Amino acid sequence: MLFLDRGDAGRRLAARLRTVSVEDAVVLGLPRGGVPVAFEVARALGAPLDVIVVRKLGVPYQPELAFGAIGEGEVRVINDFVVADARLTAAEMARVESHERAELIRRAEVFRAGRARIPLAGRIAVIVDDGVATGATARAACQVARAEGASRVVLAVPVGARDSLTALSKEADEVISLEAPTHFLAVGLWYRHFGQTSDKKVVELLRRAGDGVPAPLEVPAGDPLLRDDEVRVVAGKVELAGHLTIPEDPIGLVVFAHGSGSSRHSPRNRYVASVLNRAGLGTLLFDLLTPEEEIDRANVFDIGLLAGRLVEVTRWLTLQEQVAGLRIGYFGASTGAGAALQAAADTSVDIAAVVSRGGRPDLARAALAGVRAPTLLIVGGHDHVVLELNQLAQEAMSCETTLAVVPGATHLFPEPGALENVAELARDWFVAQLGPFEAGERVGKESQ
């Protein structure tokens, strides 16, 4: 496979990553050449983009041969075999490291242009470069991401030396490469156009990427919150982390069920939740699994387990003082929508409305016929497979069901205005189904 340029490589790599559970991800480009590849990946996944700044430590008389690498947060990786073969002294290594450390600090300041680093704690770090030769830089990047609290590290490159990729599997939870040749000479040989990427280009791509996923909306100062805090939810034998937000005079409450590979920190769900909060709806975003349970990837797709967690959390929620008397709805994304629909069919809880975003209602299977709550299925117009699955699910459901198609949108709704459209559809549905008055009254109040 020969790539036209880094943009082409990024688009091809993104197509491969769509098959991996990386919904709640931060895409991290290795500057400078990895950022154009990462930009295309982040855009396709609808994920935030940042740089992960590391510097290769080159042998003084052969700079392309790395004896190690350094990263932000004082991370330092040394290849003892190269050090021994090159007969490097401690003084020689220190001089190289001092020079590269200064350059690392300079680049970090230039690339971010005053923007803060995107927090990785509890999220999936997708580290992207234009290729892997020795793997020293990628190894340092993986260690930096872990040091910053990433729950999972995925290394994704268009091409890499097979031996290096195998070694990197010890540093990353998953290593993805479109090509992994045994005989590998140089990354640039796999590209038709492989010019240098400038600092200016990196800054521009980061700025453009920052305009993608909308930031959560602030609740107006005149609408104070009764609660806006982290909670611990007991569900059966486990305790789950969540974030509960309840506006003053709430008209209802929505429980979020995130998709596979995501968490309560999902930027898309957080944005939708902020729109619901402004409309007077309380929200609970919580982790469906404990960190220990997430290690077994089969749990992520165990819809029975996830639906059971939703039911348990709903019961816990009804015991909270500020929730008494409120009608409750579910907002499910991707696989979480399957869990939400199966939980909504459980007769032990009273669910008044369901919204599915890019959902997999087919995963609820036989439970679909038992869903009583009015359900809104939101699907991207270009998410063809999921659209067909939702059409089939709508036919299997006997409750009030509406299918809303967002024109031109793909699975994660990264297109300009697409997620805003999803949030508005969900807001209007929940206000109409949960609130004590017509949807137009609350929406009209918000726009005043």
pLDDT in tens, the chain (448 residues): 689 999 999 999 998 987 776 667 899 999 999 999 999 999 888 788 999 998 889 899 888 788 888 888 777 888 899 999 999 999 999 999 999 999 999 888 899 877 778 888 888 999 999 999 988 889 989 988 888 889 999 999 999 999 999 999 999 999 999 999 998 889 999 999 999 999 889 988 988 887 566 667 777 766 678 888 999 988 888 999 999 999 989 999 999 999 877 788 887 898 999 999 999 999 999 999 988 888 787 888 899 999 999 999 999 999 888 898 899 999 999 999 999 999 999 999 999 999 999 999 999 988 999 999 999 999 999 999 999 999 999 999 999 999 999 999 988 888 878 999 999 999 999 999 998 754 444 443 343 3
Does residue 220 fall inside a structural domain? no
Give the other-Cβ count within 10 Å of 151's Cβ: 19
Q: Are residues 200 and 240 in the same domain?
A: no
Give the pairing of strands 174-179 and 281-286: unpaired
Q: Give the CATH number for residue 331.
A: 3.40.50.1820
Q: At what angle do helices 418-434 and 267-278 cross, to 10 degrees?
A: 50
Percent of the chain with pLDDT over 70: 94
Q: Which SS3 state, helix, strand or coil, does residue 130 take?
A: coil
Q: Is residue 34 part of a domain?
A: yes
Asked if residue 190 and residue 236 are part of one domain, the reply reads no
Out of 208, 233, 262, a domain closes at 208
For residues 156 and 273, state if they share a domain: no
Q: Please tell me the distance from the alpha carbon of residue 202 to that of residue 35, in angstroms, as a whole number.
A: 6
> Is 213 among the domain residues?
no
**What residue type is assigned to position 256 of the chain?**
F
Nearest to 266 by CA among 256, 275, 276: 256
> Do the domain assignments include residue 1?
no
- Alpha-carbon distances, residue 145 vs 54, 272, 394 (angstroms): 11, 27, 42
Residue with tokens 């496979």: 1
d(C-alpha 169, C-alpha 62), whole Å: 27
Question: Which CB contacts under 8 angstroms, 24+ apart, belong to 60-64?
Answer: 60/88, 60/92, 60/95, 60/96, 62/86
**Is the dihedral angle over the CA atoms 384, 385, 386, 387 positive or is it negative?**
positive
SS3 45: helix
Q: Look at residue 219 and tell me if it is in a domain.
A: no
Instruction: Examine the domain organization and report whether 193 and 324 are in the same domain.
Output: no
Which residue segment(s) compose the domain that 233 sits in? 225-447
Query: Rounded to 5 degrees, what are φ and ψ at 111?
Result: -65, -40
Residue 211 pLDDT: 56
Residues 6+ apart with CB under 8 A from 339: 257, 288, 303, 306, 307, 309, 310, 332, 363, 364
CATH code: domain of residue 183: 3.40.50.2020
Q: What count of other Cβ atoms lies within 10 Å of the Cβ of residue 384?
A: 12
Q: Are residues 183 and 68 part of one domain? A: yes
- 185 shares its domain with 237: no
Beta-sheet strands, E only, within 312-366: 328-333, 351-357
The distance of Cα 63 from the centroid of its chain, to the nearest Å, equals: 36
Residue reference for tokens 């939870």: 173
Angle of helix 335-344 relative to helix 303-318, nearest 10 degrees, comes to: 60
Cα separation, 372 vs 355, whole angstroms = 13
Handedness of CA 40, 412, 278, 121 (dihedral sign): negative
Q: Do 236 and 197 share a structural domain? A: no
Out of 208, 237, 262, a domain closes at 208
Largest CA distance in the chain: 78
Residue with tokens 């521009």: 204
CA of 180: how far to CAs of 154, 161, 189, 351, in Å? 16, 6, 13, 50
- Domain end point (choices 183, 208, 233): 208
User: Is 218 within the bounds of a domain?
Assistant: no
308 & 349 share domain: yes
Distance CA 182, CA 197 (A): 27
pTM of the full predicted structure?
A: 0.62
Order of all β-strands in the sheet with 75-78: 54-59, 62-71, 75-78
DSSP one-letter code for 127: E
Tens-digit pLDDT profile for residues 217-268: 777 766 678 888 999 988 888 999 999 999 989 999 999 999 877 788 887 8
Nearest to 17 by CA among 138, 119, 155: 155
Strand runs labelled E in 289-424: 328-333, 351-357, 375-380, 401-406
CA–CA distance, 232 with 241 (Å, rounded to integer): 5
Same domain, 85 and 143: yes
Two tokens, residue 403: 């299918």
Is the same domain home to 47 and 161? yes
Is 159 within the bounds of a domain? yes
State the pLDDT at residue 298.
Answer: 86
Q: Based on the domain organization, do 428 and 312 belong to the same domain?
A: yes
Q: Tell me what pLDDT residue 443 has.
A: 42
d(CA 155, CA 148): 16
In order of 53, 71, 96, 147, the CA distances from 102 in angstroms are 12, 11, 10, 21
Residues counted in the chain? 448
Number of folded domains that form the chain: 2
Give the full edge-to-edge strand order of the sheet including 49-51.
49-51, 25-29, 124-128, 152-159, 174-179
Residues 267, 184 share a domain: no
**Could you give the 3-state DSSP secondary structure of residue 379?**
strand
Looking at the domain assignment, is residue 214 inside a domain? no
